[in-house]
Amino acid sequence: MAEVDESWAAHASRIYENWTRIVTKDDVVLVGGDISWAMRLEEARPDLHFLGLLPGLIVAVQGNHDYWWQSISRVRAMAPPNMRLIQNDHIRLGDLVICGTRGWLCPNGAFFKDEDMKIYRRELIRLRNSLESVQGPAEEIIVMMHYMPTNEKHEYSGFIEIFQEYGVKHVVYGHLHARACRYRLPDQAWGINFYLTSADYLSFTPRLIMDWPPS
């Protein structure tokens, strides 16, 4: 990554230092994709091993550069014991539920093309599948996405519509880096709290989303 942007120099050691300083074994860490540059699953093994060395329960969704993430069953089989992956399903932690999907570019965005509509609609289905998979009541739902759930103009999207339909109040996303972070969503919009968690945006330091259970 440092070859692309010098701000990523020594990013692995910086992540390790900040993560182990802040996160305990009882914490849950949400990782919004782009976990490894690997093209094939076996090539991602060192990066998954690195995550296995870190404290806390890691919950992750796929990013657009996670080409190694193909068969979810094979990926789960290689994931370290402290890692859970979401794809068309959810993770329940008592009364807290974590759902998610990768997401995609949204219509009317600067880079949205006709061929993107099929993928966008598929990701809407995957988000709905994730939320529909929740059985029983949940006091709080967090949705994880890799992509920002709107275009850069922050126009209402199908993702926002689904969040509102299911009463989602907290959405974590990434994908934006460097100068693109200026296009991030406001912290609150449509009655939803949004959190940009790209590693470089957070200076490679985990950000507290909420204390659970609430005190």
Q: Please report, for the chain, the start and end positions of each structural domain, with discontinuous segments joined by +.
A: 6-196
The C-alpha atoms of residue 6 and residue 135 are separated, in whole angstroms, by 45
CATH topology of domain 6-196: Purple Acid Phosphatase; chain A, domain 2 (3.60.21)
Single pTM value for the model:
0.94
For residue 120, the number of C-alpha atoms closer than 13 Å in the C-beta half-sphere is 20
pLDDT digits (tens, 9 = 90+) for 10-32: 999 999 999 999 999 999 999 99
| Residue 150 Cα distances to 41, 154, 166, 183, angstroms | 30, 5, 17, 10
Give 113-159 pLDDT, tens digit per residue.
999 999 999 999 999 999 999 998 999 999 999 999 999 999 999 99
